[in-house]
Amino acid sequence: MQSRAPHPWVASRKGSVGLALQAVAARSAGDHGAALIRAGLHAERYGYDAFFLGDHPAWAPDCWLHLAVIASQTSRIRLGQMVAAAPYRNPLLTARLQSDLDRLSGGRSVLGLGIGWNAADYGLGTNEFDRMGLPYPAVPARQDGLEEAIAIIHGVWGNEPFSMIGAYYSAAGAQVDPPIQDGGVPLVVAGGGTRTLNQLARLGDVANFGPGPAGNVNSPADAKARLAALAEQCRAVGRSYDHILRTHFTHWLLLAETERALAAKVTHYFPDGLDPFWGAYLVAGTPVSVASHYQEYVNAGIEYFVVQTLDPDDEESIALATAEVAPRLQP
């Protein structure tokens, strides 16, 4: 039976609907790293609970480096990855980066881990695994590797030097200065397959589901079914379902005060019509319509939303989400 208490941050989010911001600078001009930092400062300024970055070193600025800069300029928001691909780094390196971020932020970090997906599966025209010279094994092998990585990360944060010989990763007498926050670093285990949900129930603190590559949860009905499967996995391992924070991911959120202004914004970003990837997962609306959209996910069991902007300088959408959408959501 699992006797582990809920992470303090997870416990603090229960009973309300939380909102976090994630940024990708795909549609912004100029220095993309600087744009991501601006987005992190917007998250603090506009009252988001957390700020996340994706992990795509082959085509985007490094997440840990830029989160560290944001940590030095903020005092409240949580900071993490949604999510880092475990195959991209040796687990000891991941443990070091995350512990450093936790210490630099005063104990505000969140570690998001997944098995990786960017191998030209979704029409992006990029194959990050190939670009990095990494193999892209089948899902079961990547899931096995994720479990070994988590074991090593937690192991090297322990009080004694840690050793382990795995099929994918190993460590020999390794130890890393541990994170400083109470309860340790909360762990997001991303994905929604049966095995991943079992890993989440045993090892994680936060679930994350969204459409397409974020877990193929494309509707509130999908979310309800996936959460029911998570609850079953929690029962199987003796873990309280309520000890896991249930989050939903939006690939791109566009907001405007009126339908006319919204149409102009969509045309601005998609002058040739919606593109095959980002357009398919776009959530665009007025605060009232988007709140109604998200309320359906809340009714299905979602407790927390991670909303992504592809233009960190779309300050209107960033501001309206916390000022006009979040207050309309009823847990």
Beta bridge partners of 109: 79
pLDDT of residue 8: 98
Question: Can you tell me the distance from the alpha carbon of 128 to that of 160, in angstroms, rounded to the nearest whole number?
Answer: 36
Q: Which amino acid is at 206?
A: V
Q: Which amino acid is at 225?
A: A
Over the chain (331 residues), the average pLDDT of each successive run of 10 is 80 97 94 97 98 95 98 98 97 98 98 89 72 93 97 98 98 98 96 94 97 91 98 98 98 97 96 87 97 98 98 98 98 95
pLDDT of residue 1: 43
pLDDT of residue 3: 57
pLDDT of residue 6: 96
pLDDT of residue 157: 98
Backbone angles phi, psi at 142, to 5 degrees: -65, -35
Using an 8 Å Cβ cutoff, are 228 and 199 in contact?
no
Question: Can you tell me the distance from the alpha carbon of 148 to that of 299, in angstroms, rounded to the nearest whole number?
Answer: 35
pLDDT of residue 209: 93
**Domains defined along the chain, listed by start:** 8-328 (3.20.20.30)
